[in-house]
Amino acid sequence: MSSAPAASAASRRFPVRALQLARAAFAALAALMITFSPDHSAAVGLSVFSGFAILTAAVFAASVWLTYPQGERAPSVLLGVISLLAGMVTGIGVWRVDAMFFGAVIAWAVLSGIVELIAGVRARRRARAPQERSEARDAVVIGAAGLALAVALALVPAGYRLDYVIEEAGTFELTAITIGVGIFGFYTAIVAVYLGIAGFSPRREAPQGAEAVAQEDMA
């Protein structure tokens, strides 16, 4: 049997955990910006999403050259292109309206979620080392989270509005866009925590030399 999986893992200049930690950092930044912002309007939500998407695209672009060998780069290329386009479109100020927020974020979540989920499933089928199976599982989880984000946003009633009063605090308004931006913030918080844990989790070292060949022959 060939020792290609061990060789490809060893040839990575930056491990997958570096990719995960970078994505976690940008997701955490987006979550904090939404959480501590008193304004959950479409303008603010799309501004945060645009920055998050463009920075995430940059991480995927870097991973194409620094993390994945030839033959394993297609998912990162697709995810990078999807995120970059979404970030650029939502970065146009005059387009930052409620409909754009829901349309753009749902489309991005569906496309990126499907790509990452499929990539994770395929990687899991061909994985042999524990580290490769763990990385594939993480991709499946994040892909599924993206699809869950799309479903959650799609379920928000269009034009929803609720006025309510809190004693000694004043009158407040809950709208569809407020809910939508909050859901996106929750999604980025989940992604930040999950990928942060995945990135910092200890990894088993890939077997080297004759030991790797012996283990693959036994498999």
Lowest mean pLDDT among 78-92, 126-140, 175-189: 126-140
Secondary element (H or E) of residue 172: strand 170-175
Report which of 152, 149, 148, 131 is spatially closest to residue 203, judged by C-alpha positions: 131
Cα 73 to the chain's mean position, in Å? 16
State pTM to two decimals: 0.85
Q: Which residues pair with 162 in a beta bridge?
A: 174
Helix residue ranges, H only, 90-129: 98-126
pLDDT of residue 167: 67
Cα dihedral 90→46→104→178 (10° resolution): -160
Lowest mean pLDDT among 1-5, 45-49, 87-91, 125-129: 1-5
How far the first Cα of the chain sits from its last, in Å, is 9
